[in-house]
Amino acid sequence: MKKIIANWGNYPSIESDEKTFSFPEDLATYVGREDRFIARGYGRCYGDASLAAKTVCTLQYNKVLSFDTKEGIFECQSGLTLDKILPIIVPKGWFLPVTPGTKFITVGGAVGSDVHGKNHHVDGCFSAHVMEMDITGHDGETHTCTPDDKADLFWATCGGMGLTGVITRVKFRLKKIETSYIRQKQLKAKNLDEILRLFEENKQYTYSVAWIDCLKKGKGFGRSILILGEHASVEDLPAGKKEKPLAVPSGKQINFPFNLPSFVLNKFTVKVFNFLFYGKNMKREINNVVSYEPFFYPLDAILNWNRGYGKKGFIQYQFVLPLESKNGLVEILHRISDKGIGSFLAVLKVFGPQDDLISFPKEGYTLALDIPVRNGLMPFLDELDALVLQHGGRLYMSKDARMKPEILEKGYPRLDEFKSIIRKYNPESKFSSLQSERLNLTSR
């Protein structure tokens, strides 16, 4: 069916002939017949990675295949979303090994983007927990791969943006939990130096992330709130919650009903928002026990919150810089606050070591910020790209809708190896997206 599709940033949007499938033979037929398409799940990557004139939607291919409640091993078809997995595993004392800030992503998407979470410095990316997966290749055949068997296919698929084929089945390890609650600590940092010091001092925490105010200048430059968390034990729970330590939160949602007009988000309103957000934590330190839902998925409570950025959409700009490039982080933050581009709070995190073929994370600082699409934005982002490269960093393909191919090439040292694996498994560029064409990962 032809329809207009866009990913979470609402930029760009494209008319696409979308096909769904429920059975593997239907997918094999589609792959055999069609050309130049890309697999698409929930469309929660931000840019143009899962956009193409032809898309094959995995959302109907969403069955749970096995769940070993003793060993914590979960196996499912690739279109299953994390929000459907949590109510199955949490009551049995298991949690996702890695989760991004939204539960509305498919398992196939988690692999294709090799997503990271607040525990990256401890547990790595999603791919670190994948034991085995199936990929329907350009020949329509199913290829099973593991980190050791057909390892080239496996590692080019983790973070490979769907360019090796359609991921159809994933088997992965879960994380043992005693309760569904998180023991949370929030610390206020007055400026950038303090927040970076706090990250270092608290790196033993499993989960850590900071909300940073990118618009604040002067003494309070880089003021932030650091959020730390550990899975709570039964003893940590208040009396009323001890009887049902593995309760699944109800997950009520409110809807953002329409696109906010573009003028609503401006330097002033965002400053006020950030002031209130920072100011709401009166004390320097807050300790409490919360359900996993508000801790991991605060924005999932508002359906379609992306409409807040207006009809033109927004870019989520996310980069990582090596630890030694703290100056680079300062410089980029200064550029953003000088420019005064309206972004709500940005997210800052320190990644742990990782050195995979094409996955985004590597040890260092990562910053993600939402910027509404406006005239003049793209040249400004090109300037930021140059700074990111100059300081040894790179950008996240799952957030990207506009970077130039040379930015990708210089940021990912093993890109040539990745490209040669793509040529091996996707020789005719059958799997191809707007992004892969823009970045010269597939032929045009």
Partner 1 sequence: MEKYVFIIGATSDIGMAIAEKYAREGYDLLLGARKSERLLPAQSDLQIRFGIRCNLLELDLSQTATLAAAWNSLERKPGISICVAGYMQDNDEVLRDTNATLQTIESNFTGPVTLLNAIALDYLKNGTGVIAGFSSVAGLRGRQSNFIYGSAKAGFIAYLSGLRNKLFHHQVHVLTVLPGFVYTKMTAHLALPGLLTATPAQVANAVFTGIRKKKNVIYVKWFWKWIMCIIRMIPEFMFKKKKL
When asked if residue 316 is in the footprint of partner 1 (CB under 8 A), the reply is no
When asked if residue 269 is in the footprint of partner 1 (CB under 8 A), the reply is no
Which residue stretch of 20-28, 33-41, 321-329, 394-402 sits at the interface with partner 1 (rule: CB under 8 A)?
A: 20-28
- Pull the structure tokens for residue 184: 């949370």
Question: What CA–CA distance (Å, rounded) separates 233 from 96?
Answer: 17
Q: Per-residue DSSP letters for 388-403?
A: HHHTT-EE-GGG-SS-
Nearer to partner 1, 174 or 397 (CB): 174
The three-class DSSP label of residue 80 is coil
Q: Which of 22, 281, 288, 443 binds partner 1 (CB under 8 A)?
A: 22
Which residue stretch of 15-23, 30-38, 232-240, 409-417 sits at the interface with partner 1 (rule: CB under 8 A)?
A: 15-23
Question: What CA–CA distance (Å, rounded) separates 7 from 13?
Answer: 8
Q: Which of 14, 53, 64, 246 binds partner 1 (CB under 8 A)?
A: 64
**Nearest-approach distance from CB 257 to partner 1, in angstroms:** 18
When asked if residue 20 is in the footprint of partner 1 (CB under 8 A), the reply is yes
CA-CA-CA-CA torsion sign (163, 166, 172, 174):
positive
**Nearest-approach distance from CB 53 to partner 1, in angstroms:** 18
Nearer to partner 1, 248 or 330 (CB): 248
Q: Which of 1, 4, 239, 282 binds partner 1 (CB under 8 A)?
A: 1
Nearer to partner 1, 86 or 265 (CB): 86
When asked if residue 29 is in the footprint of partner 1 (CB under 8 A), the reply is no
Q: Which of 66, 257, 282, 283 binds partner 1 (CB under 8 A)?
A: 66
Which residue stretch of 14-22, 270-278, 353-361, 395-403 sits at the interface with partner 1 (rule: CB under 8 A)?
A: 14-22
Which segments of 81-238 does DSSP mark as H helices, in order? Answer: 82-89, 107-112, 120-123, 151-157, 192-201
Nearer to partner 1, 87 or 427 (CB): 87
Total residues interacting with partner 1, rule: CB under 8 A: 13
Q: Which amino acid is at 37?
A: F
Q: Tell me the sheet residues that pair with 13.
A: 6
Question: What CA–CA distance (Å, rounded) separates 238 from 426?
Answer: 54
Burial class from Cβ neighbours inside 10 Å (0-12, 13-18, 19+) for residue 251 reads: middle
Do 22 and 61 touch, CB atoms closer than 8 A?
yes
Nearer to partner 1, 65 or 254 (CB): 65
Nearer to partner 1, 172 or 412 (CB): 172
Which residue stretch of 62-70, 150-158, 174-182, 412-420 sits at the interface with partner 1 (rule: CB under 8 A)?
A: 62-70
Rounded to 5°, the CA angle 11-17-20 comes to: 105
Q: Which amino acid is at 119?
A: N
**Nearest-approach distance from CB 147 to partner 1, in angstroms:** 24
What's CA 222's distance to the chain center, in Å?
23
Neighbours of 116 (CB within 10 A): 27
Distances (CA, A) of 429 to 35, 163, 275, 405, 426: 8, 8, 48, 17, 5
When asked if residue 250 is in the footprint of partner 1 (CB under 8 A), the reply is no
Buried b (16+ CB within 10 A) or exposed e, 85-97: bbebbbeebbbbb
**Nearest-approach distance from CB 15 to partner 1, in angstroms:** 15
Q: Tell me the sheet residues that pair with 330.
A: none
Q: Which amino acid is at 356?
A: D
Nearer to partner 1, 1 or 239 (CB): 1
When asked if residue 23 is in the footprint of partner 1 (CB under 8 A), the reply is yes
Q: Which of 3, 29, 35, 65 binds partner 1 (CB under 8 A)?
A: 65
Q: Which of residues 69-128 bind partner 1 (CB under 8 A)?
A: 77, 84, 88
Residue ranges binding partner 1 (CB under 8 A): 1, 19-20, 22-23, 63-67, 77, 84, 88
